[in-house]
């Protein structure tokens, strides 16, 4: 039997960062009345019992998007307590299979934190995305004393979401806007569409946050990361961005900024997925 051990750290009085087995991160946000778990890891090992050692409050689950490393642990929780944007049905479906999850185990084994044989019993159940609540742009959830505001950001995936905690002046960008934003694989929207999403998000967030977190690495992002990635989108659209080759699981892209510092904006893009006629309303 494999040894799955989650770990966590308190990063604000009301926010705990939870580390999974590869590079993905989860965030537990506690209000006076309820707790919100933002993302749930890959569904390998069981995160719910661990989360319940961190809070005694009722837990609602909110997913930034439908990728395997963010959404699959949600099936441990009652479906009525889970929210995800159904626009990510196209990616959630294939990523939820046991076969797809097994394909990612090489990353976990290289990390060295999971040792021993991994069996089907180590995987969370598979649920259809439509068993969960459809999470939409502009929705707000009261946790008691603090709230979550849901903001749509198509780009990394069609249904990607960003979560603002206005009372804490904190935003969780998930994978939508980070220090190595994946915008080169087939599931991603074009750079042009992503740029439109970023511009809209910038208006919605203007003057509302001082702290930004992401869902990989150490989770730390500079507050200016949204503006930095907007500037990178402009460089890609103009044809002046860097073109440093990058490969991930057989997919090839180009790194837009070869000199970017940790915690600052960067984008991996595909030259064939730069322009798009889609307009974000």
80-91, pLDDT tens digit by residue?
Answer: 999 999 999 999
**Which DSSP helix (H) or strand (E) runs through 150?**
strand 147-152
Question: Which DSSP string corresponds to 27-84?
Answer: EEEE-SS-EEEE--TTSBS--HHHHHHH--S-EEEE-S---HHHHGGGGGS-GGGEEE
CATH for the 1-135 domain, from 3.10.129.10, 3.40.50.300, 3.60.15.10, 3.40.50.720: 3.60.15.10
Residue 281: band (very low, low, confident or very high) from pLDDT cuts 50, 70, 90: very low
The CA distance from 174 to 65, in Å, is: 8
pTM of the model: 0.94
Average pLDDT value for the chain: 92
Residue in the structure block whose two tokens are 């929780």: 77
Residue 109 DSSP code: H
18-27, 137-146, 237-246 — which is least confidently predicted? 18-27
The CA distance from 130 to 150, in Å, is: 19
19-24: average pLDDT: 83
What is the per-residue pLDDT for 104?
Answer: 67
The pair of three-digit structure tokens given for residue 234, joined into one six-digit string: 């402009």
Residue 134: band (very low, low, confident or very high) from pLDDT cuts 50, 70, 90: very high
Residue 279: band (very low, low, confident or very high) from pLDDT cuts 50, 70, 90: very low
**Domain ranges, ordered by start, for the chain:** 1-135, 175-281
Residue 7: band (very low, low, confident or very high) from pLDDT cuts 50, 70, 90: very high
The CA distance from 146 to 168, in Å, is: 8
């Amino acid at each position: 039997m494999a040894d799955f051990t989650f770990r966590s750290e308190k990063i604000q009085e009301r926010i705990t960062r939870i580390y999974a087995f590869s590079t993905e991160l989860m965030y537990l946000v506690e209000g006076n009345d309820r707790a919100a778990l933002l993302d749930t890891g890959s569904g390998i090992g069981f995160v719910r019992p661990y989360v319940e050692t961190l809070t005694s409050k009722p837990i609602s689950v909110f997913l930034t998007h439908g990728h395997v490393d963010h959404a699959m642990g949600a099936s441990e929780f009652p479906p009525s307590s889970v929210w995800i944007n159904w626009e990510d049905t196209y990616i959630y479906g294939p990523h939820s299979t046991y076969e797809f999850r097994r394909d990612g185990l090489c990353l976990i084994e290289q990390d060295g934190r999971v040792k021993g044989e991994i069996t089907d019993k180590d995987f969370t159940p598979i649920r259809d995305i439509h068993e969960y609540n459809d999470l939409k742009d502009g929705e707000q959830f009261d946790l008691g004393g603090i709230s979550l505001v849901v903001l749509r950001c198509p780009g990394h995936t069609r249904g990607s979401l960003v979560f603002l905690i206005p009372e804490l002046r904190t935003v969780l960008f998930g994978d939508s806007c980070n220090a190595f934003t994946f915008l080169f694989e087939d599931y991603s929207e074009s750079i042009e569409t992503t740029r439109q999403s970023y511009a809209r998000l910038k208006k919605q967030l203007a003057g509302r946050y001082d702290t930004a977190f992401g869902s990989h690495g150490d989770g730390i992002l500079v507050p200016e990361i949204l503006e930095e990635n907007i500037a990178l989108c402009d460089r890609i659209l103009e044809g002046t961005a860097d073109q440093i080759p990058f490969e991930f699981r057989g997919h090839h892209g180009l790194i837009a900024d070869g000199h970017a510092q940790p915690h600052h904006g960067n984008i991996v893009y595909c030259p064939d997925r730069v322009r798009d006629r889609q307009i974000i309303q």
